[in-house]
Structures are given as structure tokens and as C-alpha cells.
């Protein structure tokens, strides 16, 4: 059953189209991943779901309640853990949780039980009574997650919860998310970590530049390629002319498909090769015939990155680097301020 | 999770939590609290000494400048505190903590405003009592029970009026630098353009007109009257250029200004807090 229905959702920030006609359905009790580089629109989508932003167009329903028309009812249903960890440095972790519990109107006896439970679940016993200003990144993320879970929300919205975390904190959070999913909580998780989404998500949507590139089950998305991912370089630093020539050779080989030239990685050629044919040998022969040498060739199972690469011509990592240079974080921060 | 059902209890719970947070911050960083007491006391000493030989005819209804100054400093303390009340909200906005409040199912976003108001009011009361006590030790008198009631009622109105404006500014201005700059610009000129330091009769005509429309004057004069032994609400508190105002008139004007400010800022707060 679809617990969350997002239809034709659009949002502009002055000159930037952050979301363009987004349509997503999320099943109850599933972990839904949102994958995309920085600046793709993930945070805007999640902030809209969390009632912090009003969309310009479209509708969102959670449990058949309209997010835009009845935000207060939605706030009772959701827990939101933002990308930027906003803690009060003066409060201790326990005081922060106590404060949060009061904002969610949890009664006194349940409050103490929930706080103790979450302290244990997220392994925070040793530092919970220290001021938040003394916490490391991992501690801050764990206390923030605990605050989002205090009222046992039906839907947990997590915006890049493991960015910059140490392995211990990351594993604790992953473990908790799996437990919550088993308990029937719907979790929406945005990330630009492929492995995180691949490992945790039941379904995933891949977003780029405010648009949906693809969505579905991660395994299905990867299997759509029907073969292995090959990355070929004929020189360490090739050029567009040379790689176009190689592309033409590859196009003639039966069993090779979805050829993409990745300019940001030395004009490497990325393509899918059928598994049941000895294509690599054939490829070597054809290239040699046209007087091309192989500088490097790697063969792997397709990943979600390939889905992204196929649609955009860039890997997620390249897109990250590109967007990091392009974004005006100060301006975005001002825009996100209420 | 079983959630309690009564909206009033919810409103109390969330307002108490927000207020408690402000007091924890105060307890762990009390420097502004003590500075808020120390500054007016230093003023009381310095201004009291500076104008110790001022002709007594210029100071209506009091027998020393220190006596005259006390009311002005009490109001100035409450005014400064209330003017700064937008700063914590501004920092919450800038650091994203406000989002934590906005995604919570608060019964009423009014609790965010109420908590700031309660906090500043209690703070102003404590600071004012400290100033009044020290003034008393310096021989400047102490209001009787009714007078004390008028002091606190006037302070509540002033704090509500200024706090609502400050919270509004915290949403309108782009950041804390701009808010602090505005506080710097407004704070002392409003004090000097009131009857805190000198009576209207002491001022040039143009300044007298400004002072007689200054909300601080409407708060200072009833408090000054509250110190007199024959205090009643119908005593003339202010000889304004446009006519005499009684203590009752001053408090009523302050009340009207407070209501007006709340009505004006309400749409903005609704928009920002929805």
C-alpha cells in the first residue's frame, strides 16, 4: 500500500528550478532511498515532505493526509532529521531529548522510557549528559537521530544521515534503520553514497537537476543493463575525437550497448557487455585491427552509479565535484531560513 | 505512542519547554544577566553623581536626581532586555534550530512567542528588583505595594510591546549582525529621547515633543509616580507639550501601543511560523 504519494511536485528558488514535476509513491514499511549528487534537489524534496517548504505546484499525501493543507497532522506522523545538525550547544544531550519530547507532547512516564531506550539503542550512555557543544560529528548525528525518533513516527525522513561519519557511528545508524524497518516504520533516506542506498533501500529514486532519472528496486535497476559494466581507456588521457572513433568501433560489435563517453575521466568509454559472449577477446581484436591499444579495461557488475551515468553522462562522483563548484551555499542557506 | 489529548496542556507543555531552554541557557551563560543589572547600577552612580547638584526645581515630584533617575533605569533595563529578545530566535533561525521547532506538531506556534515573552518578563522583573533594591540602599526610596504592582504592570506592557517588535525583526532581518546593528542604533537614542534622564521641561521644544510620544516615556512616568508616597492613578505623570497625561493615561497609551504592535506583527508571525 502506498503510504506516501507525491504528484507533480515542483519548486523554484528565484532562478533555480529545484524540483521539476516529481512523482513518487512510497510503500508503507519500506526504506526508500533518494540518490543524487549535491544540489540535485534531494533536500528540497525532503524539506517539502517535512512541511518546512511549500511547493509551487503538486501534491503530497502521507496516510492520505495532505501535507500542504494539514501540516500539523503531518508533523505528528513524521520524524525529520535534517542534513545540517542543529543542536543547542548549551544543552546536554539528555536535556535536548527532554526538550524535544515536550515539543511532541509525550507524557512524562513515556518520555523517560523513550529517552532511556534510545540512549541504549544508539549507544549514547557515556556522553549523553555532556553538553552538545562538546560532541563529535558522529555523536551529534546520533543524538539528532534519537530526537527524530522520540515520538515513534510513522515516517522517518533522513537527509544524508551518514555524511562525514566515522565507521562506528555509520554502522550503528545502519543497524538502527534496519531494526526500524523490521518494526514497520517507513523510512525515507537521502544519500549520495551508492553503497548506503544499495545496501539499505527497498526502492530508490535517482534524482538529477530536480528531475527523476529512474526509480525502482536497486537490483532491478542494475539488472536492466543485462550485462557487465566495462570501462575502457585507449590512452591515459584521451580526447573526444579519439574516443568517438573508438565508440564507432564498439557500436559495431554485437553484444555491446549503452556506450557513454565520460569526459571527466580522461574520455573513458563506459558500456555494457553481454555476459554470455566472449566480447572482451573480440573487442581486443577489433581495436588492434584499427590500431588502438588498450591502456586499461575494467569489468564489474553494474551499480546504481551506472544508472546515473547512463542518464547524465557523468558518474555521481563527477557530478558531486561539478556541483560543489557551482553551488552558492551561502545563498542556499539564506533561502532555507524561515 | 500515546499522545495526550488536551490542547491547553499541550500549549503549556511546549511553552514551558521553550522557556526552560532559555533559562538553562541563562544559567550556563549568565554574563548578559549580570551585565543587565550592573550597567544601570553604574549609570545610577555616575549619572547620580554627575547631576547631584542639578537645581531641584527642574525635577518634578522628587527631591534628588538619583530619585528621578531610578524609574528611567528600570525601564531602560526592561527595554534593553526586550529589544534583545529577538536574538536567540535569530540564532535559532541562522543555525537551523528553528526548523526543529517548525517540524514539531506544536499546538500553537504562539508558544515560541510566549516563551520569549515569559523569559524576558521574568528576567526584567528580577533585574528591576535588583536595581530597585540598590536604589533603596542608596536612599532613593522604594514603592509601596500598589506602586510595586504598577511598576510590574507597566513593565509587562513595555516588555510585550518591545518583545513583539524584536521577534518580528528577528524574522524580517537577514541575520544577527543586522539585528545587533539595529539594536545599537535604536537603544540609546530612544533612551535619550525619553524622560529617563531629564524631564520634558529640561528639553528643547523639539525633543520635548519627541519624548512625549516616546513609548519609554509612557512607561517611565507611571513608575516614577509609583515611587511617590501619595501615589494614585489619576496623578499627572507627564506635562507633555500637547497636554497633561495622568498615570492612567500613560498606562492606557502603552496598552494601546502593545495591542497595536501585536495586531501588526501577527500576520508576519503567522506567515513565518506556519
Flag if B104 and A147 touch (Cβ within 8 Å).
Answer: no
pLDDT at B4 over 70: no
User: Is residue A194 located within the same domain as residue A134?
Assistant: yes
Distance from CA of A186 to the nearest CA of B (A): 16
What CATH number should be reported for the domain holding residue A241?
Answer: 3.30.70.100
Span A172-184, pLDDT tens digits = 889 999 999 999 9
Q: Are A233 and A264 in contact (CB under 8 A)?
A: no
**Cβ distance B118 to B19 under 8 Å?**
yes
Residue A330 lies in a domain: no
Q: Tell me, what's the pLDDT at A337?
A: 61
Tens digits of residue pLDDT in A153-206: 999 999 998 887 888 888 888 999 999 999 999 999 998 788 888 889 999 999
> Is residue A329 less than 8 Å (CB to CB) from chain B?
no
A276 domain-assigned: yes
In the block, residue with C-alpha cell 580522461: A266
**Which residues of chain A have a CB within 8 Å of the CB of B97?**
86-88
What gap in Å lies between CA B186 and CA B219, rounded to an integer?
17
Q: How far apart are CA B91 and CA B98, in angstroms?
A: 9
A243: in domain: yes
Round to whole Å and give the CA distance between A238 and A190: 35
Residues A169 and A150 in one domain: yes
The ranges assigned to domains in chain B are: 17-22+30-273
> Strand, coil or helix: what is A156?
strand
Q: Which residue among B3, B21, B96 places its CB closest to the CB of A91? A: B21
Estimate to the nearest angstrom the gap between the alpha carbon of B84 and the chain centroid: 10
CB atoms within 10 A of CB A84: 14
| One domain, residues A84 and A233 | no
Query: Backbone phi, then psi, for B228, in 5-degree steps?
Result: -80, 150
Instruction: Please give the grid coordinates belonging to residue A122.
Output: 544508539
Is residue A193 located within the same domain as residue A266? no
Euclidean distance between CA atoms A153 and A138, whole angstroms = 22
Query: CB contact, 8 Å: A140 with chain B?
Result: no
Residue A106 to residue A98: CA distance in whole angstroms: 9
Q: Is the pLDDT of residue A338 over 80?
A: no
Domain check: are A53 and A166 in the same one? yes
pLDDT at residue A329, rounded to an integer: 58
Q: Which residue has the cell 523490521?
A: A182
Residues A138 and A6 in one domain: yes
B97 and A100 in contact by Cβ < 8 A? Answer: no
Contact A102 B98 (CB under 8 A): no
Q: Poorest-confidence range of A205-219, A224-238, B153-167, B248-262?
A: A224-238
Residues A253-307: pLDDT tens digits?
888 888 888 888 888 998 888 876 678 888 888 888 888 888 999 888 888 888 7
Q: What digits encode the pLDDT tens for the residues B168-195? A: 999 999 999 999 999 999 999 999 999 9
Q: Checking phi first, is residue B164 left (phi over 0); if not, alpha (psi -120 to 50) or beta?
A: alpha
Burial A49-72 (b: 16+ CB within 10 A, else e): bbbbbebeebebbbeeeebeeebe
pLDDT of A108 above 50: yes
The rounded distance, in Å, linking the Cα atoms of A218 and A212 is 15
Predicted confidence (pLDDT) at residue B3 exceeds the cutoff of 50: no
A121-149 pLDDT, tens digit per residue, is 999 999 999 999 999 988 999 999 999 99
Instruction: Please report residues of B whose CB lies closer than 8 A to that of A110.
Output: 1-2
Q: Do A27 and A143 have their domain in common?
A: yes
Give the torsion through C-alpha atoms of A174, A222, A11, A156, to 10 deg: -20
Cell of B146: 500598589
Same domain, yes or no: A167 and A259: no
Domain stop point among A270, A286, A301 = A301
CATH number at residue A130: 3.40.50.300
- Look-up: residue for cell 529577538? B86
**Cβ within 8 Å of B, A 91-130:** 91, 95, 98-100, 102-107, 110, 114
Instruction: Tell if the CB–CB gap between B102 and A338 is shorter than 8 Å.
Output: yes
Query: What DSSP string describes chain B?
Result: --B---HHHHHHHHHHHHHHHHHHHHHHSTHHHHHHHHHHHHHHHHHHHHTTTS-GGGSTT-SSHHHHHHHHHHHHHHHHHHHTTHHHHHHHHHHTHHHHHHTS--S-THHHHHHHHHHHHHHHHHHHHHHHHHHHHTT-----HHHHHHHHHHHHHHHHHHHHHHHHHHHHSSSHHHHHHHHHHHHHHHHHTTTSSS-GGGS-HHHHHHHHH-HHHHHHHHHHHHTSTT--TTSEEEEETTEEEEHHHHHHHHHHHHHHHHHHHHHHHHHHH-
Reported as a pLDDT band with limits 50, 70 and 90, residue A331 is low
User: Does A186 share its domain with A266?
Assistant: no
A337 in any annotated domain:
no
Percent of chain A surpassing pLDDT 70: 94
DSSP letter at A157 equals E
Q: Give me A336's grid cell.
A: 532555507
Is the Cβ pair B98, A52 closer than 8 Å? no
Same domain as A126, residue A270: no
**Domain presence at residue A308:** no
CA–CA separation, A191 vs A160, rounded Å?
Answer: 5
Candidates A202, A151, A156; CA nearest to A176 is A156
This complex has an ipTM of 0.85
> Does residue A315 lie within any of the structural domains?
no
Joined grid coordinates for residue A268: 573513458
Q: Are residues A157 and A246 in the same domain?
A: no
| A72: chain B residues, CB-CB within 8 Å | 105-106
Closest residue in A to B19 (Cα–Cα): A99
Residue A307 lies in a domain: no
Q: Which domain holds residue A235?
A: 226-301
Interface of B with A (CB under 8 A): 1-4, 9-10, 13-14, 16-17, 20-21, 24-25, 28-29, 93-107, 171, 174, 272-274
**A277 CB-contact burial (10 Å; exposed 0-12 / middle 13-18 / buried 19+):** middle
Contacts of residue A84 in chain B, CB cutoff 8 Å? 96
Residue A176 and residue A35 share a domain: yes
**For residue A310, is it within any domain?**
no
Q: How many domains does one find in chain A? A: 2
Amino acid at each position: 500500500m502506498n503510504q506516501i504519494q507525491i504528484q507533480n511536485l515542483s519548486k523554484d528558488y528565484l532562478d533555480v528550478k529545484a524540483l521539476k514535476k516529481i512523482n513518487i509513491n512510497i510503500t508503507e514499511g519500506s526504506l526508500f532511498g533518494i540518490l543524487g549528487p549535491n544540489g540535485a534537489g534531494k533536500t528540497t524534496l525532503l524539506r517539502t515532505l517535512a512541511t518546512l517548504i511549500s511547493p509551487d505546484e503538486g501534491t503530497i499525501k502521507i496516510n492520505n493526509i495532505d501535507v500542504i493543507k494539514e501540516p500539523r497532522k503531518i508533523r505528528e506522523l513524521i520524524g525529520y532529521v535534517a542534513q545540517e545538525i542543529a543542536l543547542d550547544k548549551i544543552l546536554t544531550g539528555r536535556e535536548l531529548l527532554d526538550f524535544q519530547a515536550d515539543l511532541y507532547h509525550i507524557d512524562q512516564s513515556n518520555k523517560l522510557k523513550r529517552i532511556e531506550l534510545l540512549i541504549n539503542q544508539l549507544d549514547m550512555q557515556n556522553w549523553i549528559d555532556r553538553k552538545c557543544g562538546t560532541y563529535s560529528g558522529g555523536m551529534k548525528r546520533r543524538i539528532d537521530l534519537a530526537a527524530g525518533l522520540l515520538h515513534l513516527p510513522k515516517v522517518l525522513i533522513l537527509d544524508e544521515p551518514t555524511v562525514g561519519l566515522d565507521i562506528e557511528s555509520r554502522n550503528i545508524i545502519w543497524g538502527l534503520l534496519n531494526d526500524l524497518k523490521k518494526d514497520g516504520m517507513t523510512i525515507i533516506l537521502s544519500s549520495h553514497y551508492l553503497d548506503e542506498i544499495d545496501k539499505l533501500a527497498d526502492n530508490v529514486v535517482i534524482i538529477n537537476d530536480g528531475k527523476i532519472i529512474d526509480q525502482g528496486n536497486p537490483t532491478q535497476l542494475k539488472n536492466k543493463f543485462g550485462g557487465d559494466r566495462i570501462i575502457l581507456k585507449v590512452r591515459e588521457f584521451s580526447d573526444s575525437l579519439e574516443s568517438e572513433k573508438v565508440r564507432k568501433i564498439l557500436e559495431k560489435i554485437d553484444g555491446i550497448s549503452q556506450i557513454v563517453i565520460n569526459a571527466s575521466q580522461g574520455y573513458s568509454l563506459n558500456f555494457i557487455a553481454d555476459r554470455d559472449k566472449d566480447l572482451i577477446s573480440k573487442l581486443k581484436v577489433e581495436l588492434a585491427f584499427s590500431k588502438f591499444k588498450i591502456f586499461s579495461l575494467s569489468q564489474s557488475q553494474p551499480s546504481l552509479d551506472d544508472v546515473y551515468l547512463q542518464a547524465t553522462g557523468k558518474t555521481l562522483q563527477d557530478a558531486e565535484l561539478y556541483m560543489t563548484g557551482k553551488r552558492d551555499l551561502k545563498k542556499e542557506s539564506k533561502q532555507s531560513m524561515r | 505512542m500515546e499522545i495526550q489529548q488536551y490542547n491547553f496542556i499541550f500549549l503549556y507543555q511546549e511553552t514551558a519547554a521553550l522557556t526552560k531552554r532559555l533559562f538553562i541557557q541563562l544559567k550556563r551563560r549568565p554574563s548578559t544577566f549580570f551585565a543587565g543589572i550592573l550597567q544601570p547600577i553604574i549609570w545610577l552612580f555616575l549619572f547620580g553623581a554627575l547631576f547631584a547638584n542639578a537645581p531641584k526645581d527642574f525635577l518634578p515630584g522628587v527631591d534628588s536626581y538619583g530619585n528621578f533617575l531610578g524609574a528611567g533605569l528600570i525601564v531602560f533595563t526592561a527595554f534593553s532586555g526586550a529589544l534583545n529578545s529577538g536574538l536567540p530566535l535569530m540564532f535559532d533561525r541562522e543555525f537551523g534550530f528553528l526548523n526543529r521547532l517548525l517540524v514539531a506538531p506544536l499546538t500553537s506556534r504562539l508558544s515560541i512567542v510566549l516563551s520569549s515573552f515569559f523569559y524576558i518578563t521574568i528576567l526584567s522583573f528580577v533585574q528591576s528588583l535588583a536595581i530597585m533594591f540598590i536604589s533603596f540602599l542608596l536612599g532613593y526610596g522604594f514603592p509601596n505595594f500598589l506602586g510595586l504592582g504598577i511598576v510590574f504592570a507597566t513593565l509587562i506592557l513595555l516588555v510585550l510591546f518591545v518583545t513583539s517588535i524584536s521577534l518580528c525583526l528577528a524574522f524580517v532581518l537577514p541575520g544577527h549582525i543586522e539585528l545587533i546593528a539595529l539594536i545599537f542604533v535604536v537603544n540609546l537614542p530612544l533612551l535619550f529621547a525619553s524622560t529617563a534622564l531629564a524631564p520634558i521641561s529640561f528639553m528643547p521644544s523639539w525633543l520635548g515633543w519627541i519624548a512625549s510620544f516616546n513609548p519609554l516615556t509612557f512607561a517611565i512616568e507611571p513608575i516614577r509616580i509609583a515611587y511617590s508616597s501619595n501615589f494614585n492613578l489619576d496623578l499627572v505623570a507627564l506635562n507633555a507639550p500637547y497636554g497633561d497625561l495622568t498615570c492612567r493615561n500613560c498606562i492606557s497609551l502603552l496598552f494601546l501601543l502593545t495591542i497595536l504592535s501585536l495586531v501588526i506583527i501577527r500576520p508576519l508571525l503567522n506567515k513565518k511560523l506556519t
